[in-house]
Structure 1
Amino acid sequence: MILREATREDLDILLAFEQCVVEAERPYNVTLRKEKIHYYDLESLMNSRDATLIVAEKDHEVIASGYALIKQPEKDYSTFKDYAYLGFMFVKPEHRGKGVNQLIVDELIRWSRNKGISEIRLDVYDQNESAVKAYEKAGFEPLFLTMRLK
Protein backbone atom coordinates (compact mmCIF):
# COMPACT_ATOMS: atom_id res chain seq x y z
CA MET A 1 0.00 0.00 0.00
CA ILE A 2 1.17 3.51 -0.75
CA LEU A 3 0.05 6.91 0.51
CA ARG A 4 0.22 9.75 -1.99
CA GLU A 5 -1.27 13.14 -2.72
CA ALA A 6 -4.55 12.98 -4.60
CA THR A 7 -4.63 14.10 -8.23
CA ARG A 8 -7.39 15.18 -10.60
CA GLU A 9 -7.45 11.61 -11.90
CA ASP A 10 -8.71 10.56 -8.45
CA LEU A 11 -11.62 13.00 -8.48
CA ASP A 12 -14.34 10.53 -9.51
CA ILE A 13 -13.49 8.03 -6.77
CA LEU A 14 -13.11 10.83 -4.22
CA LEU A 15 -16.54 12.20 -5.10
CA ALA A 16 -17.93 8.69 -4.59
CA PHE A 17 -16.12 8.48 -1.22
CA GLU A 18 -17.65 11.81 -0.25
CA GLN A 19 -21.16 10.49 -0.83
CA CYS A 20 -20.30 7.42 1.26
CA VAL A 21 -19.21 9.73 4.09
CA VAL A 22 -22.46 11.72 3.81
CA GLU A 23 -24.56 8.54 3.87
CA ALA A 24 -22.62 7.16 6.85
CA GLU A 25 -23.23 10.39 8.77
CA ARG A 26 -26.94 10.75 8.01
CA PRO A 27 -27.99 8.56 10.99
CA TYR A 28 -26.04 10.89 13.30
CA ASN A 29 -27.39 14.14 11.86
CA VAL A 30 -31.08 14.36 11.00
CA THR A 31 -30.61 17.94 9.79
CA LEU A 32 -28.74 16.88 6.63
CA ARG A 33 -30.77 17.54 3.49
CA LYS A 34 -32.03 14.36 1.79
CA GLU A 35 -30.66 15.15 -1.67
CA LYS A 36 -27.05 14.78 -2.76
CA ILE A 37 -24.82 17.19 -0.86
CA HIS A 38 -21.12 18.00 -0.96
CA TYR A 39 -19.04 18.54 2.15
CA TYR A 40 -15.71 19.26 0.49
CA ASP A 41 -14.19 21.40 -2.24
CA LEU A 42 -11.82 18.66 -3.34
CA GLU A 43 -10.15 20.58 -6.16
CA SER A 44 -9.45 23.48 -3.82
CA LEU A 45 -7.89 21.10 -1.29
CA MET A 46 -5.71 19.60 -4.04
CA ASN A 47 -4.53 23.03 -5.20
CA SER A 48 -4.04 24.76 -1.86
CA ARG A 49 -0.60 25.35 -0.36
CA ASP A 50 -2.32 25.18 3.04
CA ALA A 51 -3.80 21.73 2.51
CA THR A 52 -2.94 18.20 1.57
CA LEU A 53 -5.43 15.64 0.31
CA ILE A 54 -4.00 12.17 0.41
CA VAL A 55 -5.18 8.78 -0.69
CA ALA A 56 -4.17 5.26 0.18
CA GLU A 57 -3.68 3.05 -2.84
CA LYS A 58 -3.46 -0.73 -2.84
CA ASP A 59 -2.86 -2.74 -6.01
CA HIS A 60 -3.49 0.41 -8.11
CA GLU A 61 -6.87 0.98 -6.43
CA VAL A 62 -7.65 4.03 -4.27
CA ILE A 63 -9.04 2.60 -1.03
CA ALA A 64 -8.99 5.52 1.43
CA SER A 65 -8.72 9.29 1.79
CA GLY A 66 -8.12 12.12 4.22
CA TYR A 67 -7.05 15.75 4.25
CA ALA A 68 -5.34 18.28 6.48
CA LEU A 69 -6.09 21.99 6.11
CA ILE A 70 -4.28 24.76 7.93
CA LYS A 71 -6.81 27.14 9.47
CA GLN A 72 -6.84 30.08 11.86
CA PRO A 73 -8.96 30.04 15.02
CA GLU A 74 -12.25 31.92 14.72
CA LYS A 75 -11.55 33.80 17.94
CA ASP A 76 -8.35 35.60 18.89
CA TYR A 77 -7.97 34.09 22.36
CA SER A 78 -6.33 30.77 21.51
CA THR A 79 -2.78 29.96 22.54
CA PHE A 80 -2.00 28.98 18.94
CA LYS A 81 -1.98 31.03 15.73
CA ASP A 82 -2.85 28.23 13.29
CA TYR A 83 -4.10 24.69 13.53
CA ALA A 84 -4.52 21.77 11.16
CA TYR A 85 -8.03 20.52 10.63
CA LEU A 86 -8.33 16.89 9.53
CA GLY A 87 -11.29 15.67 7.51
CA PHE A 88 -12.63 13.40 4.78
CA MET A 89 -11.47 10.27 6.56
CA PHE A 90 -12.83 7.40 4.53
CA VAL A 91 -11.76 3.79 4.08
CA LYS A 92 -13.58 1.42 1.75
CA PRO A 93 -15.52 -1.07 3.89
CA GLU A 94 -13.54 -4.11 2.74
CA HIS A 95 -10.29 -2.47 3.92
CA ARG A 96 -11.48 -1.32 7.36
CA GLY A 97 -9.93 -2.70 10.53
CA LYS A 98 -6.51 -3.04 8.90
CA GLY A 99 -4.93 0.18 10.15
CA VAL A 100 -5.40 2.15 6.93
CA ASN A 101 -7.07 5.11 8.65
CA GLN A 102 -4.27 5.20 11.23
CA LEU A 103 -1.69 5.40 8.42
CA ILE A 104 -3.56 8.32 6.86
CA VAL A 105 -3.93 10.13 10.19
CA ASP A 106 -0.23 9.62 10.92
CA GLU A 107 0.70 11.03 7.49
CA LEU A 108 -1.58 14.05 7.94
CA ILE A 109 -0.09 14.71 11.37
CA ARG A 110 3.41 14.42 9.91
CA TRP A 111 2.50 16.88 7.13
CA SER A 112 1.04 19.29 9.70
CA ARG A 113 4.10 19.10 11.95
CA ASN A 114 6.37 19.72 8.94
CA LYS A 115 4.36 22.90 8.33
CA GLY A 116 5.10 24.01 11.92
CA ILE A 117 1.61 23.24 13.19
CA SER A 118 1.29 21.81 16.71
CA GLU A 119 -2.49 22.00 17.21
CA ILE A 120 -4.44 19.39 15.25
CA ARG A 121 -8.22 19.03 15.34
CA LEU A 122 -11.03 17.09 13.75
CA ASP A 123 -14.77 16.67 14.14
CA VAL A 124 -16.54 13.39 14.76
CA TYR A 125 -20.12 12.64 15.73
CA ASP A 126 -20.06 11.57 19.38
CA GLN A 127 -22.49 8.72 18.62
CA ASN A 128 -20.09 7.30 16.03
CA GLU A 129 -18.38 5.15 18.62
CA SER A 130 -16.06 3.27 16.26
CA ALA A 131 -14.71 6.52 14.82
CA VAL A 132 -14.34 8.08 18.27
CA LYS A 133 -12.37 5.03 19.44
CA ALA A 134 -10.15 5.12 16.34
CA TYR A 135 -9.30 8.79 16.90
CA GLU A 136 -8.68 8.25 20.60
CA LYS A 137 -6.34 5.41 19.68
CA ALA A 138 -4.50 7.90 17.44
CA GLY A 139 -4.06 10.22 20.44
CA PHE A 140 -6.99 12.59 20.02
CA GLU A 141 -9.17 13.51 22.98
CA PRO A 142 -12.64 15.08 23.15
CA LEU A 143 -12.64 18.85 23.41
CA PHE A 144 -16.09 20.22 22.68
CA LEU A 145 -19.58 18.85 22.20
CA THR A 146 -22.07 20.77 20.05
CA MET A 147 -25.62 20.44 21.28
CA ARG A 148 -28.84 21.39 19.52
CA LEU A 149 -32.42 22.10 20.50
CA LYS A 150 -35.03 20.63 18.14
Structure 2
Amino acid sequence: MNTISIRTATENDLEILLKFEQGVIEAERPLDPFLNSGDLYYYDIPEMIASKNVYLIVGIFGEEIVASGYVRIENSKQYHKNPKHGYIGFMYVKPSFRGQKISNLILASLKNWAKENQLKELRLDVYSNNISALKSYENFGFKKSLVNMRMDI
Protein backbone atom coordinates (compact mmCIF):
# COMPACT_ATOMS: atom_id res chain seq x y z
CA MET A 1 0.00 0.00 0.00
CA ASN A 2 1.34 3.42 -0.98
CA THR A 3 1.55 6.19 1.56
CA ILE A 4 2.04 9.90 1.04
CA SER A 5 5.64 11.08 1.00
CA ILE A 6 6.78 14.69 1.06
CA ARG A 7 9.65 16.18 -0.89
CA THR A 8 10.95 19.56 -2.00
CA ALA A 9 9.49 20.71 -5.33
CA THR A 10 11.81 20.89 -8.33
CA GLU A 11 11.61 22.52 -11.75
CA ASN A 12 10.50 19.13 -13.10
CA ASP A 13 7.27 19.61 -11.11
CA LEU A 14 6.45 22.94 -12.77
CA GLU A 15 3.73 21.63 -15.11
CA ILE A 16 1.69 20.00 -12.33
CA LEU A 17 2.29 22.93 -9.95
CA LEU A 18 0.90 25.34 -12.56
CA LYS A 19 -2.20 23.12 -12.74
CA PHE A 20 -2.45 23.13 -8.95
CA GLU A 21 -2.23 26.93 -8.98
CA GLN A 22 -5.22 27.07 -11.32
CA GLY A 23 -7.01 24.62 -9.01
CA VAL A 24 -6.47 27.00 -6.09
CA ILE A 25 -7.78 29.92 -8.15
CA GLU A 26 -10.78 27.90 -9.35
CA ALA A 27 -11.65 27.00 -5.75
CA GLU A 28 -11.29 30.62 -4.60
CA ARG A 29 -13.21 32.36 -7.40
CA PRO A 30 -16.64 31.61 -5.89
CA LEU A 31 -15.37 32.79 -2.48
CA ASP A 32 -14.05 36.17 -3.64
CA PRO A 33 -16.06 38.49 -5.90
CA PHE A 34 -13.01 40.80 -5.99
CA LEU A 35 -10.90 38.35 -8.00
CA ASN A 36 -10.36 39.51 -11.55
CA SER A 37 -11.83 37.54 -14.43
CA GLY A 38 -9.71 35.72 -17.00
CA ASP A 39 -6.37 34.04 -16.45
CA LEU A 40 -4.86 34.64 -13.01
CA TYR A 41 -1.55 33.64 -11.50
CA TYR A 42 -0.81 33.95 -7.79
CA TYR A 43 2.74 32.65 -7.68
CA ASP A 44 6.08 32.85 -9.44
CA ILE A 45 6.68 29.14 -9.03
CA PRO A 46 10.16 28.95 -10.63
CA GLU A 47 11.30 31.76 -8.32
CA MET A 48 9.80 29.96 -5.32
CA ILE A 49 11.63 26.75 -6.23
CA ALA A 50 14.94 28.63 -6.49
CA SER A 51 14.53 30.81 -3.37
CA LYS A 52 16.38 29.98 -0.16
CA ASN A 53 13.61 31.78 1.79
CA VAL A 54 10.85 29.55 0.44
CA TYR A 55 10.27 25.89 1.15
CA LEU A 56 7.93 24.64 -1.60
CA ILE A 57 6.96 21.02 -1.19
CA VAL A 58 4.83 18.40 -2.88
CA GLY A 59 3.00 15.37 -1.56
CA ILE A 60 3.55 12.18 -3.54
CA PHE A 61 1.36 9.07 -3.74
CA GLY A 62 3.23 6.38 -5.63
CA GLU A 63 4.62 8.34 -8.57
CA GLU A 64 1.82 10.94 -8.58
CA ILE A 65 2.09 14.45 -7.17
CA VAL A 66 -1.14 14.98 -5.24
CA ALA A 67 -0.55 18.02 -3.02
CA SER A 68 1.50 21.17 -2.55
CA GLY A 69 2.26 23.91 -0.06
CA TYR A 70 4.95 26.38 0.85
CA VAL A 71 6.28 28.43 3.72
CA ARG A 72 8.12 31.68 3.03
CA ILE A 73 10.25 33.60 5.50
CA GLU A 74 8.83 37.12 5.80
CA ASN A 75 9.66 40.19 7.84
CA SER A 76 7.05 40.96 10.48
CA LYS A 77 5.72 44.43 11.27
CA GLN A 78 8.05 46.39 13.53
CA TYR A 79 5.48 46.23 16.34
CA HIS A 80 5.23 42.41 16.35
CA LYS A 81 7.26 40.46 18.89
CA ASN A 82 8.79 38.13 16.29
CA PRO A 83 10.94 39.98 13.74
CA LYS A 84 10.30 37.27 11.14
CA HIS A 85 7.56 34.73 10.57
CA GLY A 86 6.70 31.94 8.18
CA TYR A 87 3.91 32.63 5.72
CA ILE A 88 2.09 29.54 4.45
CA GLY A 89 0.39 29.37 1.07
CA PHE A 90 -0.31 27.32 -2.07
CA MET A 91 -2.04 24.65 -0.02
CA TYR A 92 -3.61 22.33 -2.56
CA VAL A 93 -4.69 18.69 -2.52
CA LYS A 94 -6.05 17.00 -5.63
CA PRO A 95 -9.82 16.53 -5.24
CA SER A 96 -9.63 12.71 -5.35
CA PHE A 97 -7.19 12.76 -2.39
CA ARG A 98 -9.04 15.20 -0.12
CA GLY A 99 -10.32 14.10 3.25
CA GLN A 100 -7.21 11.99 3.96
CA LYS A 101 -5.44 14.62 6.11
CA ILE A 102 -2.75 15.13 3.48
CA SER A 103 -2.83 18.85 4.25
CA ASN A 104 -1.74 18.00 7.81
CA LEU A 105 1.32 16.19 6.43
CA ILE A 106 2.14 19.23 4.29
CA LEU A 107 1.59 21.63 7.20
CA ALA A 108 3.71 19.51 9.56
CA SER A 109 6.59 19.53 7.07
CA LEU A 110 6.29 23.29 6.57
CA LYS A 111 6.18 23.84 10.34
CA ASN A 112 9.30 21.69 10.83
CA TRP A 113 11.20 23.66 8.17
CA ALA A 114 10.13 26.92 9.81
CA LYS A 115 11.38 25.68 13.19
CA GLU A 116 14.70 24.61 11.62
CA ASN A 117 15.00 28.17 10.32
CA GLN A 118 14.47 29.61 13.83
CA LEU A 119 10.99 30.97 13.10
CA LYS A 120 8.65 31.24 16.07
CA GLU A 121 5.40 32.00 14.25
CA LEU A 122 3.41 30.84 11.23
CA ARG A 123 0.74 32.87 9.45
CA LEU A 124 -1.60 32.27 6.56
CA ASP A 125 -4.59 33.84 4.87
CA VAL A 126 -7.83 31.96 4.32
CA TYR A 127 -11.19 33.14 3.06
CA SER A 128 -13.69 33.53 5.90
CA ASN A 129 -16.28 31.61 3.86
CA ASN A 130 -13.93 28.67 3.14
CA ILE A 131 -15.34 26.58 5.96
CA SER A 132 -13.45 23.35 5.17
CA ALA A 133 -10.08 25.14 5.01
CA LEU A 134 -10.80 27.05 8.22
CA LYS A 135 -11.68 23.82 9.99
CA SER A 136 -8.54 22.10 8.70
CA TYR A 137 -6.24 24.95 9.80
CA GLU A 138 -7.92 25.24 13.19
CA ASN A 139 -7.61 21.48 13.72
CA PHE A 140 -3.90 21.81 12.97
CA GLY A 141 -3.58 24.51 15.63
CA PHE A 142 -4.01 27.85 13.87
CA LYS A 143 -6.13 30.50 15.59
CA LYS A 144 -8.11 33.27 13.94
CA SER A 145 -6.35 36.57 14.41
CA LEU A 146 -7.40 39.48 12.23
CA VAL A 147 -10.39 39.95 9.95
CA ASN A 148 -9.74 41.77 6.68
CA MET A 149 -12.79 43.68 5.44
CA ARG A 150 -13.61 45.49 2.20
CA MET A 151 -16.46 46.90 0.18
CA ASP A 152 -17.29 48.07 -3.32
CA ILE A 153 -17.63 51.85 -3.70
Give the TM-score band, short-chain normalised: over 0.9
Report the alpha carbon displacement of residue 149 of structure 1 after superposing the two structures with TM.
1.6
Task: Output the CA distance in 1 between the equivalents of 2:33 and 2:97.
Answer: 28
Using the size of structure 2 for normalisation, the TM-score is: 0.96
Given residue 19 of structure 2, which amino acid in structure 1 is its aligned partner? A
* DSSP-derived class of the 2:29 partner: helix
Task: Output the CA distance in 1 between the equivalents of 2:48 and 2:71.
Answer: 9
* DSSP-derived class of the 1:136 partner: helix
User: Is 1:130–2:129 an aligned residue pair?
Assistant: no
Report the alpha carbon displacement of residue 115 of structure 1 after superposing the two structures with TM.
0.2
Return structure 1 stretches of 4+ with deviation > 6 angstroms: none
Task: Output the CA distance in 1 between the equivalents of 2:137 and 2:21.
Answer: 19
Partner of 1:9: 12
Report the alpha carbon displacement of residue 33 of structure 1 after superposing the two structures with TM.
1.1
User: Is 1:143–2:145 an aligned residue pair?
Assistant: yes
Map 1:1-150 to 2 at 5 A.
Answer: 1-73=4-76, 75-150=77-152
Structure 1: which 5+ residue stretches go unaligned?
none
Given residue 144 of structure 1, which amino acid in structure 2 is its aligned partner? L
Report the alpha carbon displacement of residue 139 of structure 1 after superposing the two structures with TM.
0.1
Given residue 15 of structure 2, which amino acid in structure 1 is its aligned partner? D
- Percent identity between matched residues is 42
Matched pairs, number: 149
RMSD: 0.6
Report the alpha carbon displacement of residue 67 of structure 1 after superposing the two structures with TM.
0.2
Structure 2: which 5+ residue stretches go unaligned?
none
Report the alpha carbon displacement of residue 17 of structure 1 after superposing the two structures with TM.
0.4
Report the alpha carbon displacement of residue 44 of structure 1 after superposing the two structures with TM.
1.1
Task: Output the CA distance in 1 between the equivalents of 2:147 and 2:26.
Answer: 22
Using the size of structure 1 for normalisation, the TM-score is: 0.97
Q: Kindly provide the CA deviation profile for residues 61-111 of structure 1, in whole angstroms up to 9, marking residues without a partner as x.
A: 0000000000002x3111111000000000000000101000000000000
* DSSP-derived class of the 1:3 partner: strand
